Amino acid sequence: MTVSAIRSEAAYREGLERAADLVGRTDQKSLDELELLQAVIERWERTQMTMPMPTPVEAIRFRMMQANLRPRDLEPFIGSRARVSEVLSGNRTLSLEMIRALSRHLGIPADALIGVSAEAAPKRPEPSRAAMNSLREAGFLRPGENFTSFMDRALGPARVEALLRKTRTARTNAKTDLAAVEAWCAAVALRATTVRLPADAKAPGPGAARELARLSREKNGIGKVAVTLAGMGIVLVVLKHLPGTYLDGAAMCRPDGAAVIALTLRHDRIDNFWFTLLHEFCHATRHLDGKTLLILDDLDISSSDAIEEEADRFAEDTLIPATFRERCAAAWMSTAEIVEIAAEVGVHPAIVAGRWQREHGEYRRFAKMLGRGEVSAQLT
């Protein structure tokens, strides 16, 4: 078996003829030669020819012709006979599950099944240079890697599209660089795949949120959050926000179905950390599903969205139960009273001080109690 690089039109035609002879053979030597031959043929076509991407139906019919398949042979991958007929006639679009099955079992490229060519598809907006530089400096971008390649590597082409279609973005700044947000999400996804959850992880019970809140009083309690969440089957990723993203946190699904809570520490304060954590915990445990794979949050922006209101109230009530609400909202409050209430509630004093500031719109008083810079210090 000798397969050489194709450097001429004549060699290309010879390669096609040889590939045609090998199609249908089942011995390993022929299969290996065909695989190598297809690689050099495709390389020549990419560099020398500009051909339109086939439609999904054309790609399927071509593979059927190659493998001598009949429509009924597609039923394990597409569904009933009627559904196969609808797909082949162009009256039904392929679902993500069909694309995965056809690509995995019949070897049809996913790009062809999705039906979007690089030439025909609108160019994906790219993040700002500052955002790309931040990704590069953080080690997420490989040398020479562009934005599209990075996204496909981090999420896979099909998952990129699924994630973007199934995203809640109601709580994002009007100035947000959405391409930078996509890049940040992809970086979070890469980081999340490196986290191994314990085999005995149990779904969070009714008291799980308060368990997290009580960690705020412990020495290095912030550093214990990741392990505590992992025991509940939830991944924690803390990743600095990219320029133009204006994000505090997000909740998303990992490909294996595990929930991921991602925090940016944009406001590096103890009170902000715990509120954002519990807000995203609510999203991760109540709002992620097959229809919503990603929820993004700029908590500087108020929202009337039902799930955002629920997550805000959940975080507030978990950190400071409703029975303490009036005391925390008292117009006159001393530092000693802040500390006393925090001890009774079982949370860090910064949480009570931050609640008082928000209640009264007064951000100078108790400012030194908020623990500025202490969150990142505990996580390094």
- Comparing CA positions, the residue from 278, 246, 248, 275 lying closest to residue 263 is 248
Residue spans of the chain under pLDDT 50: 116-121
The confidence score (pLDDT) of residue 24 equals 67
- Tell me the C-alpha to C-alpha distance, in Å, between residue 278 and each of 53, 64, 169, 197, 324: 46, 52, 19, 20, 18
Q: Alpha-carbon distance 30 to 193, whole Å?
A: 37
Identify the pLDDT of residue 158. 65
pLDDT in tens, 175-184: 788 899 999 9
pLDDT of residue 25: 77
Residue 263: how many other CB atoms lie within 10 Å: 25
- Kindly report, residue by residue over 287-333, the tens digit of the pLDDT: 998 888 899 999 988 888 899 999 999 999 999 999 998 888 888 88
At 121 the pLDDT is 44
Q: Return the domain boundaries, the chain.
A: 11-114, 129-320
For 320, 331, 338, the CA distances from 343, given in Å and listed in that order, are 11, 20, 9
Tell me 224's DSSP state: G
Mention every residue, 6+ apart, whose C-beta is less than 8 A from residue 229. 212, 235, 236, 261
Strand locations in 210-367, DSSP E? 234-238, 249-253, 259-263, 294-297
CATH number of this structure's domain 11-114, picked from the four choices 1.10.357, 3.30.70, 3.30.1370, 1.10.260: 1.10.260
Model confidence, pTM: 0.68
pLDDT of residue 374: 93
At 261 the pLDDT is 98
- Tokens 């998952």, located at residue: 159
